[in-house]
Amino acid sequence: KSLEDVLKEKGVITEDDYKNIQKSSPIKYKLGDGFTFTSADGKFSTSIGGVYQLRYTLMDLDDVNNTAAKRAQDYSKFELKRIKLHFNGYAYSPDLTYKMQLNFANIAGGTTNNGGLLEFAWLNYRLRDEIQFRFGQDKVQFGRQWITSSDAQQFVDTSAVTSAFVPGYDTGVMIHGKIAGGLVNYNIGGYGGVGQNTYRTTTDNSFAARLAVNPLGDVKYSESDVEYSVNPLVSFGANFFRDTIYNGETNNLFFAKSTSWYGLGSTLMTKKFSAGEPLDFNTAGADAVFKWRGFSATGEYFFAEADGQTSKNRLRADGFYAQAGYFVIPKTVELAYRYSYIDPNRDVTNDHWVENTGAVSWYINKQNLKIQADYTNIHKQAAIASTSGKNATDDQQVRFQVQMQF
C-alpha cells in the first residue's frame, strides 16, 4: 500500500485528491514506454525502456541445383534479433521532444552490423501539430512497413520487399505535421544520403517526401487489428525518395545491400554501371491499409530506378506485398498470410523473388508481449537462386519469436 492509499483510507485526502496525485506522480510505468520520470515543474520527462526480440530460425535450403556430394548448408539459429534500449521524453517544454534508441544486437560477430548501435537520435520541436521540425537521425519516412516499428509487425519480420526498397535510417532535417487531427499527415525531409551512422564528404544529399490520408480517422503505424476496431479504418499513403550514390560507395542504405533491388539487379545488367560513377536513384511507393473488427489488410507497391550520370545506363525494378490477418480469438490469436514479389531488374527475365508466408501470433499483451511463428516459402528464379545452377529454388524457412517490451 502506498502513502496515498493509506491517507485515502484514513480520510485525510479525498478521492479527487487521490486521482490528482496519481496523475502527478514523478514515476510511472507506461506500456511501450517503460518507466517514465517527470520533474516536479512538469518541464522535463524521460522514459527508459527496452524491447527484446529473441528468435529461432530453421532454414531448409533447396538442393535442386546440387549433387549428392555438394549439399546446401541448412541452418538452425538462435538469435538475439533486436535488443534495444530507449531514452525518450521531453526537455525544457513538452513541445521539445527527443528519442534516443540503441540496438545492442547490432554489435555481433566482433563487428558492427546493420548500421550500428544508434537507431533514433532526434530532437523534435512542435510549433503546432501541423508544423513540426525534426533534426537528427530518424527512419527516412519512405515505406509504410518500414515506418512501422519492428515491434508492431504482423509477421516475425518485415517483408523482403520492404527490406529491398527502403533507404533505412539517416541523419537530416524534416518538416512534418498532422492536419485535421490526423486525417492528413505529411513529411518532407533532407538527409545525408548514405544511411544510418554513416557520413561522407560530398554535397549529394537525399530527399524524401510522404503523404498519408486517413479519411476515417488517424491510423497508427502498427500492423494487425489487435485493438479490435469497432469502426472501419482506412489509410492511403504515397512517398517519394531520391538520392545520389557513387557506384560501389560504402553506405548503410538498405536498398543498396547485395540482397536488395539494386544489389541484385545491378549484377544482372547487360550494360553495367561504371566503377565509382555517380548514380541517381529515384524511388516511389504507394500503400493502403484497412482494419475492422480484428481483420486487417495492408498492401504496398514500390518502383525504383537508378540512372548512371556518365554511362547513361539505367536499372529499373519494382515489387509489392499484400498481407491480411484475422483474429480468430479477438485481441489474442491472429492468423495472417502475406504474398511478396520483387523484380530487381525489369529488363532481364528469370530474376523474380516471390515469398508466401503464413503466420500465427499470440498477443499476450497486445504488441508489448507476444509470441509469433511464421513459415515462408522463398521462391527465387534461376538468375538469383539461393544455390547457383540452372533451376529456381524454393527454400523453406520457419521462424519463432518472443517479443517483450519492458
Site for its own copies in 122-141 (CB under 8 A): 122-123, 135-137
| Ramachandran angles phi, psi of 9, nearest 5° | -60, -40
Residue 179 touching its own copies (CB under 8 A): no
| DSSP 3-state percent helix, strand, coil across the chain (nearest 5) | 10, 55, 35
**59's grid cell:** 532454414
Q: Select 92 or 390, whichever has its Cβ closest to its own copies.
A: 92
Segment interacting with its own copies, rule: CB under 8 A, options 19-27, 256-264, 301-309, 381-389? 19-27
Residues in contact with its own copies, shown as a per-residue x/- string from 337 to 366 under the rule CB under 8 A: ---------------------------xx-
Rg (CA), the chain: 23
Give yes or no for residue 263 binding its own copies (CB under 8 A): no
User: Can you tell me which of 110, 128, 270, 275 binds its own copies, judged by CB under 8 A?
Assistant: 110
Q: Which is nearer to its own copies, 67 or 109 (CB)?
A: 109
**Of positions 171, 283, 367, 386, contacts its own copies by CB under 8 A:** 171
Q: Does 63 bind its own copies (CB under 8 A)?
A: no
Residue 280 within binding range of its own copies, rule CB under 8 A: no
| Dist CA 376 CA 159 (whole Å) | 11
Q: Does 294 bind its own copies (CB under 8 A)?
A: no
Burial class (CB in 10 A: 0-12, 13-18, 19+), 358: middle
- 64 near its own copies, judged by CB under 8 A: no
Among 66, 149, 151, 173, binds its own copies (CB under 8 A): 173
In whole angstroms, the minimum distance from the beta carbon of 197 to its own copies comes to: 4
Q: Does 259 bind its own copies (CB under 8 A)?
A: no
Beta strands in 92-117 (DSSP E): 93-103, 107-108, 111-112
Residue of the chain from 62, 65, 86, 121 that contacts its own copies (CB under 8 A): 121
> Residue 31 CB, nearest distance to its own copies (Å)?
9
Check if the beta carbon of residue 243 is closer than 8 Å to that of residue 204: yes
Residues 313-332 that bind its own copies (CB under 8 A): none
Minimum distance, C-beta of residue 252 to its own copies, in the bound complex (Å): 8
Which residues between 237 and 256 bind its own copies (CB under 8 A)?
250, 252
**DSSP assignment of 197-258:** T---SSS--EEEEEEEE-TTS---S--S-TT--SS-EEEEEEEEEEEEEETT---B-GGGST
| Pair type for strands 169-179 and 393-405 | unpaired
The answer to whether the Cα torsion of 360, 374, 112, 122 is positive or negative is negative
DSSP state of 275: T
Cell of 71: 549439399
Q: Pattern of binders to its own copies over 184-213, x per CB under 8 A?
A: ------xxx----xxxxxxx-x--------
